[in-house]
Amino acid sequence: MNKVKGLKSKDLLGLKDLAVEEISLILETARSMKEVISRPIPKVPTLLGKHLVTLFYEPSTRTRTSFNLAAKVLSANVTNVALSSSSVSKGETLIDTVKNLEVMGTDCLIIRHGLGGAPHLAARHTRASIINAGDGFNEHPTQGLLDIFTMLDKKKSVAGKKALIVGDIAHSRVARSNIWGLTKLGAHVTVVGPPTLIPAGIEQLGVKVSYDLDAELKDADFINMLRIQRERMAKSFFPSLEEYSELFGLNAERMRRAKKDVIVMHPGPINRGVELTSEVADGPYNVILDQVTNGVAVRAAILFLLLGGKTRRNHRAVSAK
Amino acid sequence: MTRILIKGGRVIDPANNTDEVKDILIEDGKIVAGHGSRVTGQEVIEAKGKWVLPGLIDMHAHLRDPGRPDKETIASGSRAAALGGFTTVCCMANTNPPVDNPAVVEYVVAKAAREAVVNVRPIAAVTKGLKGEELAEMGRCRAEGAVAFSDDGQPVMRADLMRRALEYAKQFAVPIISHCEDSNLSADGVMNEGALSTEIGLPGVSHLAEEIMVARDIMLARQFGLVHLAHISTAGAVRLVRQAKVEGVPVTCETCPHYFSLTEAAVKEYDTNAKVNPPLRSAGDVTAVVQGLKDGTIDVIATDHAPHTLEEKTIEFSLAKSGLVGLETALALVITKLIIPNVLSPAQAVEKLAAAPARILNLAGKGSLRPGSDADLIVVDPHAEWTVDAAKFASKGRNTPFSGWTLKGRVLQTIVGGKIVVRDGKLVA
């Protein structure tokens, strides 16, 4: 495999846009970061003086905290900005918000937004780096990367392995980022869920579709359980959480049919008793908390690769253009 | 007496079964028979090597007047129309206030008489406030000059109301123009549903949202009369209309240049200028629309000209308004995408851009160059190549997905009621 020194783009918008070499570079860098984080004093001066802003139009605890910790490990400054999605149409435009943050001296904006393509729009209007922390149903690249990092941590390789992604594929950015990344790395991906939550034409992304979790479970190496949103029920995507859980939830009995060394993942937050019973969520095959730990390392790696070693930009000159 | 002689052009006038090189003489705003060379004191337009066509008729445009002069006015929209070769524009009722009562119809007619450089004919609403609940006063709107009725922009969701509208409109012998969309099915979708919407993570609109309404309206039209289906965009819709016509249902339909020129791939990078309703469809749909144009299933090519401000388009894709401007690119897209590749003959294209709209809307004196017709005509250089530059549009709208496209076919002269409005490709009115 060709080694690359850095990422091609100033932004990380999705795994769709990354070359295999770039994915490998991020994962490799994340391994070094994981070592840094495990030190007694987990702090290096790499991004000293860099300013990051998390700009979240949707609530998040895990992802935002993870980015904050990652930034702090690298000695970057972080400012957190939370805006409600409902004010988007009335208030300042995304582009104006991004440009204002840029001229305040922000090197990198970490954006979460309820609408697909919003970080892409932002990226076209600023020279600051944009990291997509989840956009609508589109992508959540840092989650996808930390999922893959966790899989590689446990299994050495994903190539030729069978990965299941289970649940609300239609509305899941985690699913899409996993699909892009895993298929690029040679994994066999099967998406499993009720037909109402399998989006049109998903096979064209190189995955298999199944509605039968039990049938797929037997030879799976990885199972990534997606969070199901209660509000989908109101729109008749499925009739009840109980039925959903029976058909597409993981419980101890179902797990007995899985491979002994299967890895169970969940991007969180878990609806206990719906996607996973507590027995499974806290069971031996789960790596859910590893995912969270690895998230910090992966995000630190991305920050390092996007921002490390670069001199401060002349923001004023850029925005005057 | 004002006389204009258009000399030596290829006169393409399908309503009059004409496609031959000949002169056209205009006297006092009408086309007259006879040869111009015997007449003195006239202006002569050399049209050798050019096409002389009846002025195009756009039966579907949004001129945003009254209510949104920042997007478009009757004045600016009519100038865009003139440059694009349209001598008559029918404007939709979804303005603010909507064209749902005789006073607003009268406003449009009066404002057009004062400010427009082409004929502007209002389409009035089917229901009060475009709410889909109660019929608007169609008779009084018709009396003030409404040429058709439509809630375009949104569907008439209730089948009972659509039935009454079709029945009631029969007495005026004008069609109801249906915006075919089942809004429960389209819901919060912002692009065509399929592999691409899945790939880029945007909520999709199924082709069924269009086709189910097309099917409903065909069934209603079979029993209750005249319906014209706006902006047909899917293979299934084309198939339904084709079958309905075989069965003799009184249905006509239109498509728009973007539905035969672009696929959904145009939104791949979240380009809001390609966001339109109905959404740009798959390659298979485009092929079916082209086939529908070729075999006559699709009667009309209309623009669905829908200007929006830069602010409304330079935002998140899902929040951006739907619609694109079309008046100044429609004819060149027809020439480039349909005539040059031999999908349509020039006469067939003129049929869809002028003759058919005049016939469907009963526009007396329009859509043909036969003697006695209004002197609405255009001279087109079908070979002239030009590059689309939205900044140069006469429309206030800059929202086009065709920026930078090189197209063939340029309008040189536009004559409206015997008055030269565009001369050598420039507005002179």
Reduced to 3 states (helix: H, G, I; strand: E, B; else coil), residue A234 is helix
Q: Is A104 buried (19+), middle (13-18) or exposed (0-12) by CB count in 10 A?
A: exposed
Residue of B nearest to A205 (CA): B199
- Across B9-38, average pLDDT: 90
Reduced to 3 states (helix: H, G, I; strand: E, B; else coil), residue A165 is strand
- The residues of chain A scoring below 70 in pLDDT are 1-2, 85-90, 309-321
Spatial neighbors of B265 by CB under 8 A, at least 6 apart, are B196
Q: What pLDDT band is residue B37 in, cutting at 50, 70 and 90? A: low
| The architecture CATH gives domain B55-360 | Alpha-Beta Barrel (3.20)
H and E: helices and strands count for chain B: 14, 19
Exactly one of B304, B374, B376, B381 is catalytic; name it.
B304
The CATH classification number of A20-140+295-314 equals 3.40.50.1370
Tokens of B45: 């337009």
What gap in Å lies between CA B295 and CA B292, rounded to an integer? Answer: 5
- Cross-chain Cβ contact A137/B201 below 8 Å: yes
What gap in Å lies between CA B266 and CA A127, rounded to an integer? Answer: 25
What gap in Å lies between CA B27 and CA B29, rounded to an integer? Answer: 6
Write down the domain spans for chain B.
Answer: 3-52+373-427, 55-360
Q: Is the peptide bond before A269 cis (omega within 30 degrees of 0)?
A: yes
- From the candidates B190, B198, B263, B315, which should be mutated to test the interface with A, based on the most A CB atoms within 10 A? B198
Residues of A within 8 A of B198 (CB-CB) are 170, 199-202, 204-205
- Report the CATH fold assignment for B3-52+373-427: Urease, subunit C; domain 1 (2.30.40)
pLDDT of amino acid B33:
86
Residue B304 annotated to the active site? yes
Residue of A nearest to B320 (CA): A89
Statement: the pTM of the whole predicted model exceeds 0.90: yes
Nearest to B194 among A115, A135, A201 (CB): A201
pLDDT of amino acid B225:
86
Tokens of B221: 């039209």
pLDDT of amino acid A319:
39
What gap in Å lies between CA B122 and CA B143, rounded to an integer? Answer: 12
pLDDT of amino acid A37:
95
ipTM of the complex: 0.89
Q: Is the peptide bond before B97 cis (omega within 30 degrees of 0)?
A: yes
pLDDT of amino acid A89:
54
Residues of A within 8 A of B313 (CB-CB) are none
What gap in Å lies between CA B201 and CA B205, rounded to an integer? Answer: 13
B158, pLDDT greater than 90: yes
Contact B132, B348 (CB under 8 A): no
- Across B289-301, average pLDDT: 98
Residue of higher predicted confidence among B19 and B1:
B19
Contact A270, A227 (CB under 8 A): yes
Q: HEC string of B183-248?
A: HHHHCCCCEECCHHHHHHCCCEECHHHHHHHHHHHHHHHHHHCCEEECCCCCHHHHHHHHHHHHCC
Contact B38, B77 (CB under 8 A): no
Residues of B within 8 A of A138 (CB-CB) are 200-202
What gap in Å lies between CA B108 and CA B121, rounded to an integer? Answer: 8
pLDDT of amino acid B26:
95
B334, pLDDT greater than 80: yes
Contact B266, B286 (CB under 8 A): no
pLDDT of amino acid A287:
94
Contact A240, A249 (CB under 8 A): no
What gap in Å lies between CA A233 and CA B391, rounded to an integer? Answer: 47
B379, pLDDT greater than 90: yes
Write down the domain spans for chain A.
Answer: 20-140+295-314, 141-292
Give the position of tokens 């209004």. B374
The CATH classification number of A141-292 equals 3.40.50.1370
Question: In whole angstroms, what separates CA A281 from the centre of its chain?
Answer: 19
Beta-bridge partner residues of B121: B90
- From the candidates B313, B316, B317, B319, which should be mutated to test the interface with A, based on the most A CB atoms within 10 A? B316
Domains A20-140+295-314 and A141-292 share a fold: yes
What gap in Å lies between CA A214 and CA B110, rounded to an integer? Answer: 70
